Structure 1
Amino acid sequence: MFKKLSIGRDGADAQARGAGAEQRALDYLRRQGLRLVARNYRVARGPSARGGEVDLILWARDGTLVFVEVRARERDAHGGAAASVTRAKQRKVIFAATCFLRALAEIPPCRFDVVAIDGDRVEWLQGAFDVPAEH
């Protein structure tokens, strides 16, 4: 007789939406000529209690290794998807990217991009943030 009311996001639904947004972003970036290297690269917490994840790692045509954070919002409220990439989130992405780069024999030119998906609109922000000087 009564519908069950759930407050908050269902984790499985949120995860599925996130995976869908990442796939949309990947499809978009591939159409721009980028090649996938890794997806959902995760680094567990270490001694500094920091962990991190990079949604997508791709090669650009010019040889730049691109670390991409994908953000999606159903509505453009509160500044939209791009505004949700906080400084704390940037630090986690940078930490994971640094760990990824340590495994390479040679460090290529790198860039941190954001793909912001607001509803049906996809926006690719190249060079969205940089590594702070203390790194």
Structure 2
Amino acid sequence: MIQEQTKLNVVDNSGGKVVKCIKVLKGSKKKTAKIGDFIKVVVKNSIFNSKIKKGQILNAIIVRSKFPLKRTDGSYLSFNDNAVLLLNNQNQMIGTRIFGVIAKEIKTIYFKKLISLSSELV
């Protein structure tokens, strides 16, 4: 579960390295987020000479979480780190590549491009 003040890794080539969650979106009283949810983040660490700068506020979607996710078949899925993909204000991906694996639960109408760019689905 991701909540406010959680630090997360960035798994695309947008230029950010580490971000911090400042708000969980899609609900006024929602306190935690899981894989596939949207959050608002602030960039804490970025790559030199990138378009993403430290202190910038962006949207993000969670693609990996340490907290176990229960699937419909009864199995559980958890990862070794918490990771996000950075999005712009129109909820389009900033980066053009995705590093590492992502969960199949991300498949939605809006993110068909995300599935095609990922190297492996789990």
| TM-score, with length taken from structure 1 | 0.30
Q: Greater share of helix residues, 1 or 2?
A: 1
Look at both structures and tell me which one has the larger radius of gyration over its CA atoms. Answer: 1
Asked which structure has the greater RCO (Cα within 8 Å, sep 6+), the reply is 2
